[in-house]
Structure 1
């Protein structure tokens, strides 16, 4: 069960248009950055905020195209244009390819902000699932490499952050048939990305509904301890990727929170 199933009856916002731009990553590989913007963005009288987006897919799958309706919906609802990076995936391209590719997209946007009508001091980064983990890595890379102006915000959506995470869910647990991302998926994704088997690491008991709950809460706590302003939302009982089901009440509330975050910088 993936995004395509949820999006079958979801209409792509007609006011959002896509344009593609070639960008060179650190190792010389050409990647594609897709701009999602409206006519209002393209003809704005003053520089506008923008987001760099990293798609999900467990480090081993996914694409900008698969997530395009989600990105366009966010752009239409928030009024903030988005630049989605077509980063390379594992195992063909292990670490640090994904983070370097998305950082290259961020750096390109920062350097070309004026011609794109973007305020370089109001560039944020966002990502879903594995893309959330990539986005977090890019935020650290931007800090360590002295990106200027610095990133204004990071919005991480059920991010895949920790390669040590496993889960103990009994095989007869009633939720097992509904898991979107399993222990085996997680081992496959991280193993392909970091290039080694993590199966022998200590297990962690986490929510059977979303494998990334505890690591996300820990990351939020560490940011707070470092005096970083954060906003953390947890949606109990909902599975990984629940926000692709647009019509359910919790998803609507989550999307409202997300759009508010996108508008806040």
Structure 2
């Protein structure tokens, strides 16, 4: 064999080796089979999505869907709801709904005061209400033995940021100030929310830190939280033609302003978009979770990493094969594991 042929063979072998070293294209995560089956049973394959054109249209379609999904949750007849009207920082009246059960009123190692959760529902900062989530909240009260106070905060665009944040902080200070009469240990208050409610909970935790709230929050429970408006323009995985991305863009524009949403250079408060916070030091311990197929996955992972880097104890779960709001599929294994985690962390209060 000639040297020329040897050289050719060597060159071809080198190219083959380089090709083998080249990274393989990413493989899209598979949808959890149980979730896929549930979706097909709830939503017909040929269903036409409702229009997204305005916030009003979006609210109507979203609220109809949410009510349908939560109707499958069993009622909890032992849970009592009591509404309290409090005053926000600008004088606006807001309601806080207290969920209690016989389990929440049992003595706790000889003390009448027990832990409590201040809760914020999801809805993109623009929709939904406490009543829509009452069965899920009531179930959590029964499973944990912890009373939950859910805040009927004001919604954008009628009330853009910081209205909801101030409503939430007013609810936190009210709960802490009235802890003894409500049977609450003020040193064991957790803040919790799902989706935009999770982002709101994180923003209020930042407010509590910066305003010197005492005795301080015990825990953050952030369920697939909506944390960073910059994702609508800067996340390469987000497709502007995707319906969910269009929905989130509408929400962020309503909440922080159309001219600001998604602009990294814009003056957007870190309390409204906690992912923008320069420092996450000094926040309470966190329990965070998000689905592998959730649009919020990247911002949630970054937030968890930054919390841990700032010295916060973080328990983070990335649930495989499921999207945003996966826990509406009550009977699948992933949801059961997620609920078990939430129950455990609230019981640990």
RMSD of Structure 2 on Structure 1 (CA): 1.9
Report the equivalent of 1:161.
227
Question: 1:68-87 to 2 correspondence within 5 Å?
Answer: 68-87=134-153
CA distance in 2, matches of 1:19, 1:188: 33
- Which string of whole-angstrom CA distances, capped at 9 and with x for unpartnered residues, describes residues 108-127 of structure 1? 00000000000000001000
TM-score (norm 2): 0.69
Report the equivalent of 1:110.
176
2:314 to 213, 230, 251: 230
Report the equivalent of 1:20.
83
1:130 and 1:159 in contact (8 A); partners too: yes
Report the equivalent of 1:63.
129
CA distance in 1, matches of 2:102, 2:262: 52
CA displacement at 1:198 relative to structure 2: 5.4
CA displacement at 1:210 relative to structure 2: 1.1
Moved more, 6-15 or 209-218: 6-15
Tell me, which stretches of 5 or more residues in structure 1 are unaligned? none
Aligned residues: 253
CA distance in 2, matches of 1:163, 1:104: 24
Tell me, which stretches of 5 or more residues in structure 2 are unaligned? 1-61, 265-290
CA distance in 2, matches of 1:69, 1:87: 19
CA distance in 1, matches of 2:86, 2:240: 46
CA distance in 1, matches of 2:124, 2:326: 15
Report the equivalent of 2:96.
33
CA distance in 1, matches of 2:70, 2:174: 30
1:56 and 1:62 in contact (8 A); partners too: yes
Report the equivalent of 1:135.
201
Report the equivalent of 2:255.
193
CA displacement at 1:147 relative to structure 2: 1.1
SS in 2 for 1:232: strand
Report the equivalent of 2:334.
250
CA displacement at 1:40 relative to structure 2: 3.9
CA displacement at 1:41 relative to structure 2: 2.8
CA distance in 1, matches of 2:215, 2:190: 11
Report the equivalent of 1:7.
70
Moved more, 80-89 or 242-251: 242-251
SS in 1 for 2:91: coil
1:42 and 1:116 in contact (8 A); partners too: no
- Between the two structures, name the one with larger relative contact order (CA 8 Å, sep ≥ 6): 1
CA displacement at 1:195 relative to structure 2: 1.3
- Which string of whole-angstrom CA distances, capped at 9 and with x for unpartnered residues, describes residues 185-223 of structure 1? 111011000012457658xxxx99311001001000010
CA displacement at 1:103 relative to structure 2: 1.0
- Which string of whole-angstrom CA distances, capped at 9 and with x for unpartnered residues, describes residues 93-134 of structure 1? 000011111111111000000000000000010000000000
CA distance in 1, matches of 2:117, 2:209: 17
Moved more, 231-240 or 154-163: 231-240
1:47 to 93, 113, 120: 113
CA distance in 1, matches of 2:212, 2:206: 10
Q: 1:39 to 1:224 in 2, by over 3 A?
A: same
2:325 to 241, 252, 255: 241
1:101 to 144, 159, 167: 167
SS in 1 for 2:306: helix
2:195 and 2:225 in contact (8 A); partners too: yes
